[in-house]
Amino acid sequence: MKCSIPLLAIFVAGTIAMPAATTPKCNVGEEYTDCGTACPLTCAQPEPRPCTLQCVPGCFCKRGLIRNQGFASVPISAELNEDLAPACINVWLAYMGEKLLKAS
């Protein structure tokens, strides 16, 4: 019995000293996930591309949002292009211009 009391005290002290894991706070329009993509869609990369299959923990844009040049999550604009956000218009115009030049 004498041996079990010190062990219990060590266990209790160890659990009190260890802080509980907390989920990181994300910006507006983002959510935290333990297993996000290493290649999220952005204004500069509005289309899916080959990517490694790995889990990347962090804050990612919620569904329907895309990361702009300032790293903010902004709404996708269906009027311009389903893969594009309004904050990405200049990048989108350059991207579409390149696609048209390559096609001709």
Q: How many domains does the chain have?
A: 1
Q: Is residue 98 in some structural domain?
A: yes
pLDDT at 65: 87
Q: Is the pTM of this model over 0.75?
A: no
Kind plus residue range of the DSSP H or E element containing 58: strand 56-61
Range of the domain at 30: 26-103
What's the Rg (C-alpha) of the chain? Answer: 23
> At 64, which CATH number?
2.10.25.10
Mode of pairing for the β-strands spanning 73-75 and 30-36: unpaired
Whether residue 42 lies inside any domain: the answer is yes
Tens of pLDDT, residue by residue, the chain (104 residues): 555 555 444 444 444 555 557 888 999 999 999 999 999 988 888 788 899 889 999 999 998 888 887 788 888 764 345 455 555 666 666 666 666 666 66
Q: Which residues contact 42 (CB under 8 A, 6 or more apart)?
A: 66, 67, 68
Flag whether 92 is in a domain: yes
pLDDT, residue 10, reads: 46
pLDDT at 41: 85
Asked whether residue 63 is domain-assigned, the answer is yes
The pLDDT assigned to 80 comes to: 46
In 3-state terms, what secondary structure has residue 77?
A: coil
pLDDT of residue 9: 46
Domain membership flag for residue 45:
yes
What pLDDT is attached to residue 26?
Answer: 94
What local confidence, expressed as pLDDT, does residue 68 receive?
82
Q: Is residue 76 part of a domain?
A: yes
